[in-house]
Amino acid sequence: MSAPAEAVELRRAVWRQEYGYLSRERVRQEWLGEEYRRALDEYEGLGGDRATVRRHEPALPGAYEDALRAARRVLDGEGPLRLALAHLLRARAGMARMRDVLDANSAIRRAAEPVERLRAAARVPRLRALPCVDAPGRLLRAAHARMAEGAHARAAYLARAARGQAEALAPAETTDADRVVALETAFRNLRALCAATRGLLADPSADLLSDGTLEAADALVADGELALAERVAEELEAQLAPRSRFRQALEAEGEEAEVVLHSLRARLAARPPAGEPWSAATRMLWQSRVELGVRRVRAEQYAPDAFASGRADEDEEPFMTNSSSTG
């Protein structure tokens, strides 16, 4: 079968028939009749896919059949051929919409397996909440929602995006020893970071060391899910950045670190921060250092002899006892 005629060609043929340049029979057979047969064959070729179309767009197959019947009545009768053309173009638009429905349904079905595999590999809620695992699922749910709204092209786009993101994190066929070592080191460093900073948590059982998150991350490496493990490591490091900054600030306290940590814990318990505690604790440390520096400068300015001899330190307040340094 030849390629379908463009709509403008069909309109031109009908216009030429109405103005006497072409016979009605020629237009009916060569242009509109061919378009009708093509539309009928294309609809029959859908076969069982028509049930899928009816499930998502119940009225669409019936409207398509009505358009073909109306076109057939005009072609077999004496009505103006422009009416037959209007019905055929309406059927063509209906077929395009049915193709969109089937394309979106296929895209959603093909995306479901890799998205679910990715979620199953993550195992624990904290890993499943990471963007690399959660985003494909969100995209697929959005595709289902757009499908229900009738936005089939958008649903297909979202489903393909979900599938692409999930398949990008599929396990590789071969294992790279260097990548495995790098991942083991990264997760070991995360363990050390959590152990050093979990003292500020009101509920330590919610920490990565206690909720199975790092064990699940280790399992990704053991199962060969290296691409997913690398993304998990990157996103966990980003989430734990406030804890890393706090650990650096705390280590700068040297031998006083334990005393400082105890003081911070007491202050945070008295005035719990709105979000995670490590950023608030870091601000407290920085503010305390600024205040200590200001006191030393003042002591040097107003009692240089005492400061030089070291007696100015005797007047300094202990760490963060000033009620103004609340962070």
Per-residue pLDDT tens over the stretch 72-97: 999 998 889 999 999 999 999 999 99
Q: Is 323 within a domain?
A: no
Residue 29, classed as helix, strand or coil, is helix
For the chain, how far is it from start to end, CA to CA, in angstroms?
Answer: 78
Contact in structure between 82 and 24 (CB atoms under 8 Å) = no
- The upper half-sphere exposure of residue 74, i.e. CA atoms within 13 Å in the direction of its Cβ, equals 21
Contact in structure between 117 and 221 (CB atoms under 8 Å) = no
Residue 266 has pLDDT above 90, yes or no: no
Query: How many CB atoms are located within 10 Å of the residue 283 CB?
Result: 16
Q: Is 20 within a domain?
A: yes
| Residue 139 shares a structural domain with residue 224 | no
Percent of the chain with pLDDT over 70: 91
| Residue 46 shares a structural domain with residue 94 | yes
Last residue of a domain, one of 217, 239, 261: 239
Per-residue pLDDT tens over the stretch 144-171: 999 999 999 999 999 999 999 999 999 8
Q: Is 326 within a domain?
A: no
pLDDT (mean) for 22-30 = 93
| Residue 189 shares a structural domain with residue 252 | no
Contact in structure between 97 and 152 (CB atoms under 8 Å) = yes
Which residues constitute the domain of residue 152?
Answer: 108-167
| Residue 112 shares a structural domain with residue 157 | yes
**Residue 303: band (very low, low, confident or very high) from pLDDT cuts 50, 70, 90:** low
Query: Residue 189: what pLDDT?
Result: 95
Residue 307 has pLDDT above 90, yes or no: no
Last residue of a domain, one of 50, 69, 104: 104
Distance of alpha carbon 222 from alpha carbon 39, whole angstroms: 55
Contact in structure between 92 and 6 (CB atoms under 8 Å) = no
Residue 324 has pLDDT above 70, yes or no: no
Q: DSSP letter for 3, please.
A: P
| Residue 151 shares a structural domain with residue 199 | no
Distance of alpha carbon 118 from alpha carbon 139, whole angstroms: 13
| Residue 23 shares a structural domain with residue 70 | yes
Cα angle value 270/240/286 (rounded, 5°): 50
| Residue 153 shares a structural domain with residue 182 | no
User: For the chain, how many structural domains are there in total?
Assistant: 4
Query: Residue 305: what pLDDT?
Result: 58
Please list, in sequence order, all residues whose beta carbon lies within 8 angstroms of the beta carbon of residue 187, skipping any fewer than 6 positions away.
Answer: 214, 217, 218, 221, 233
| Residue 119 shares a structural domain with residue 161 | yes
For residue 220, CA distances in Å to 45, 116, 171, 177, 278 come to 45, 15, 9, 14, 28
| Residue 192 shares a structural domain with residue 162 | no
Query: Residue 257: what pLDDT?
Result: 75
Q: Is 79 within a domain?
A: yes
Query: Residue 211: what pLDDT?
Result: 86
| Residue 142 shares a structural domain with residue 58 | no
pLDDT (mean) for 178-197 = 93
Query: Residue 326: what pLDDT?
Result: 41
Last residue of a domain, one of 54, 86, 104: 104
Residue 2 has pLDDT above 60, yes or no: no
| Residue 30 shares a structural domain with residue 98 | yes
Distance of alpha carbon 148 from alpha carbon 303, whole angstroms: 78
Helices (H), 223-276: 226-239, 241-251, 257-270
Residue 6, classed as helix, strand or coil, is coil
CA-only gyration radius of the chain, Å? 35
Query: Burial, 218: exposed, middle or buried (Cβ in 10 Å; 0-12, 13-18, 19+)?
Result: middle
Q: Is 268 within a domain?
A: yes
Residue 110 has pLDDT above 80, yes or no: yes
| Residue 12 shares a structural domain with residue 93 | yes
Q: Is 327 within a domain?
A: no
